[in-house]
Structure formats: structure tokens, C-alpha cells
Structure 1
Amino acid sequence: MTSNLMLHIKLNGELTELGKEQTVSEFVNEQDFNGRFVIVINDELMPKSRWQDVVIHDGDRIDIVSPISGG
């Protein structure tokens, strides 16, 4: 018997469903993000070097943020 449980996350403040557990890297590859961006998961900046190892869990809050320069 297989489980059809969906993961529920908040992506940029909006409730979103994922069909399966996946790493941040897999998630980014499936999305249509353009340009430069950083990822914040549950208020923690996620360095690109960790994308392959960090798994997205049910209830996670993910923010995709475009860096801006200024002073």
C-alpha cells in the first residue's frame, strides 16, 4: 500500500503542496525561478552548498528572495 500524502509548505507566504519529500536542490530544479535568488527556510538562510543535503519537510516555510544592492 503506497501513501499519497502531500507535503504542505508555505512558499513566499502562500500555502503550497509538494507531491513528495525532496531536497532543496530537487525543489529548485522543479520550479521556475529566474535570476539570482537566495533561499530562506524557517528563517534560516540556506547556503547553496547545503541544497543537496537539506530535505524539505511538511510545514516548512520557504522564502525565495532576490538579493538587492544598496547602501
Structure 2
Amino acid sequence: MNIVINGTPADVTDGWSVGDLVRARTEEQRRVAVARNSEVVPRGEWDTTALSEGDRIEVLAPVAGG
């Protein structure tokens, strides 16, 4: 299935959830936020939010600095 992750086209496994994607992409899930098609996905819904063909996903990590 083709989606876009942080602006980059990606092929992911059919049937994946947001949670599957986050676990595959980052080791520190507690420190990221996820938006699917410009809508924030609450952490408690990651495993029940299925990815669909053409989804645009943003995986965001906090950045410190000034």
C-alpha cells in the first residue's frame, strides 16, 4: 500500500495501523505525535486507526532549542 510519510512516498504492509507504522519507524513511541491526513491521531487510537492507500502521515518528534 502506498502512503506518504513526512512528505516521502512509502510502501507499507496492507492492513497496518498507525501503531504498526510508528513501531516500525521509531524506537521511542512515547515521544512522538502522529497526524493522519492533517488530523491528529490520539495515542490511544493508534492501534485501531487503519492506514489507507494514499494517506498522508506526519510523525512528529519534539525539538528543543531556541
Answer yes or no: same fold by TM over 0.5: yes
2:6 match: 12
Identity of aligned residues (%): 25
Runs of 4+ with deviation above 3 angstroms: none
1:63 maps onto 2:58 in alignment: yes
Distance 2:63 2:40 in 1: 15
Question: CA deviation digits over 1:9-53, x for unaligned, max 9?
Answer: 00000000113221111222222x144110011000111010111
Report how many residues are paired.
63
- Counterparts of 1:69 and 1:47, CA distance in 2: 22
Residue in 2 that maps onto 1:51: 46
Question: What is the letter of the counterpart of residue 23 of structure 2?
Answer: N
CA distance in 2, matches of 1:34, 1:66: 12
- Compute the TM-score of the two structures, normalised by the length of structure 1: 0.76
What is the letter of the counterpart of residue 34 of structure 2? I
- What TM-score results when the alignment is normalised by the length of structure 2? 0.81
CA-atom RMSD in angstroms: 1.7
| Structure with max Cα Rg | 1
Structure 2: which 5+ residue stretches go unaligned? none
